[in-house]
Amino acid sequence: MAHSLDQETYEQQVKSVWVATVWLTVITIVEVVAALIWLYVVDPDGQKSKFLLNSFFIVASLLKAYFIVGEFMHVRYERRALALTILVPLVFLIWFLVAFLWEGAEWQNNRIIWDALPELPEIPDHGDHGGGHGGDHGGGHDKGGH
């Protein structure tokens, strides 16, 4: 199956690959800049909820995945049937993700109820933005996830 492209399609595809490259680069830069702005400007003490920032990261990553799968892996140009046979099984991952994060939160909940939280190492005092959020003294607080 030697499918050589004609010159015009070839040039067009080369161009769209470079466009996708620019998108991927720009999205990555925006992600890192957002993380840094959050770290240094919005929330230097690590007190605020990161819900919005994290939602942005997830959407941006899915957008990057779209460019890689669609453009680099050529799925956009494949037959619909092939695209579906590849992408539809991945729908299971949505429930996989929801169920296991839910389950993980429940493990922590059980440990709190049974007073069985593992002892964590002390947070060493270094750097200006120390790890974790400080001030944790064993059980009693409800949420550890960000």
Partner 1 sequence: MATHTVSPINPTTEEEAWEGGGSPFNVSYGKLMMWYFLVSDAFTFSGLLISYGAIRFSSERWADPNEVFNAMPFLHGWEAPLGFVSIMTFILILSSVFVVRAVQEGHMMNKKGVVKWMLLGIIGGAAFLGCQAWEWHHLITGYDHGHGMVMSDNTFGAPPVFGQLFFLITGFHGFHVFSGVVFNIMVCIQAAMGVYERRGHYEMVEKIGLYWHFVDLVWVFVFLAFYLL
What value, to the nearest 5°, has the Cα angle with vertex 105 and ends 108 and 40? 100
Helix/strand/coil percentages in the chain, nearest 5: 65, 0, 35
Chain residues 43-62 in contact with partner 1, contact rule CB under 8 A = 46, 54, 57-58, 61
Does position 42 interact with partner 1 (CB under 8 A)? The reply is no
| 86 part of the interface to partner 1, by CB under 8 A | yes
CB of 114 to partner 1, least distance (A): 13
Per the CB < 8 A criterion, the answer to whether 7 and 58 are in contact is no
> In this complex, which beta carbon is closest to partner 1, that of residue 48 or of residue 132?
132
End-to-end CA distance of the chain: 51
- Should residue 25 be labelled a site residue for partner 1 when binding is judged by CB under 8 A? yes
Q: Does 132 bind partner 1 (CB under 8 A)?
A: yes
Supply the minimum distance, in Å, between the C-beta of residue 48 and partner 1: 14
